[in-house]
A and B are shown apart, each in its own frame.
Chain A
Amino acid sequence: MTIATLPLQNDDDLPPRRSLSRIVLKRLLTKPAAVFGLVIILLFVAFALVPDLFSPHDPYAQSLIRRLKPPSFLDRGVDGYLLGTDHLGRDTLSRIIHGARTTLLVSLFAVVVSAVVGIWAGLVAGFFGGKTDAVILRLIDMQLAFPVVLLVIAIVAVVGPSLTNLIVLMGLSAWPRFARIVRGSVLSVRGLEYIEAARSIGAGKLRIMLRHILPNILSAIIVYASFELARMILLEATLSFLGLGVQPPTPTWGGMINDGKNYLSISWAVSLFPGVAIALIILAFNLLGDEIRDALDPQLSHD
Chain B
Amino acid sequence: MTAPLLDVKGLKRHFPTESPLFGAKRFVKAVDGVDLAIGKGETLGLVGESGCGKSTLGRLIARLDEPTAGEIVFEGRDIARLDDRALLPVRQSIQMIFQNPFASLNPRMTVGAILEEPLIIHGKGDRSKRRRRVMDLLGQVGLRPDHVDRYPHEFSGGQRQRIGIARALALEPDLIVCDEPVSALDVSIQAQIINLLQRLQRELGLSYLFISHDLSVVEHISDRVAVMYLGRIVEEADAVEMYRRPLHPYTEALLSAHPEPDPLAVSREIILEGGVPSPVNPPAGCHFTTRCPYVQPRCSETTPPLVDHHPGHKARCLRLDEIEGNRLTEGARTVEHKS
Contact = CB atoms under 8 A, between A and B. Distances in A.
Most buried by A among B88, B122, B142, B158: B142
B95 interface: yes
A57 B171 CA distance: 68
A200 B192 CA distance: 24
A11 interface: yes
B91 A200 contact: yes
Contact of A194 (B64, B105, B158): B105
Contact of A204 (B84, B109, B140): B84
A216 B144 contact: no
Interface in A167-224: 192-194, 196-204, 207, 211-212, 215-216
B21 interface: no
Sorting the interface of chain B by its residue count into under 10, 10 to 19, 20 to 34 or 35 or more gives 35 or more
A297 B92 CA distance: 37
Contacts of B159: 8, 10-11
B103 A200 contact: no
A12 B258 CA distance: 36
Most buried by A among B118, B122, B203: B118
Interface stretch (A13-21, A102-110, A233-241, A279-287): A13-21
Contacts of A17: 150, 154
Interface in A1-29: 3-4, 6-11, 13-15, 17
Interface string B256-293: 00000000000000000000000000000000000000
B192 A9 contact: yes
A282 B227 CA distance: 63
A199 B109 CA distance: 16
B92 A202 contact: yes
A193 B91 contact: no
A203 B144 contact: no
Interface in B69-110: 84, 87-88, 91-92, 95-96, 98-100, 103-109
Contacts of A202: 87-88, 91-92, 118, 121-122
Contacts of B140: 3
A-B pairs with the 10 shortest C-beta distances?
A: A4-B139, A201-B118, A193-B104, A215-B108, A202-B91, A193-B103, A6-B142, A194-B106, A200-B96, A193-B98
24 contacts: A3-B139, A3-B140, A7-B142, A10-B158, A10-B159, A13-B156, A192-B103, A194-B105, A196-B96, A196-B98, A197-B96, A197-B98, A197-B104, A197-B106, A198-B106, A198-B117, A201-B95, A201-B170, A202-B87, A202-B88, A202-B91, A203-B117, A211-B106, A215-B108
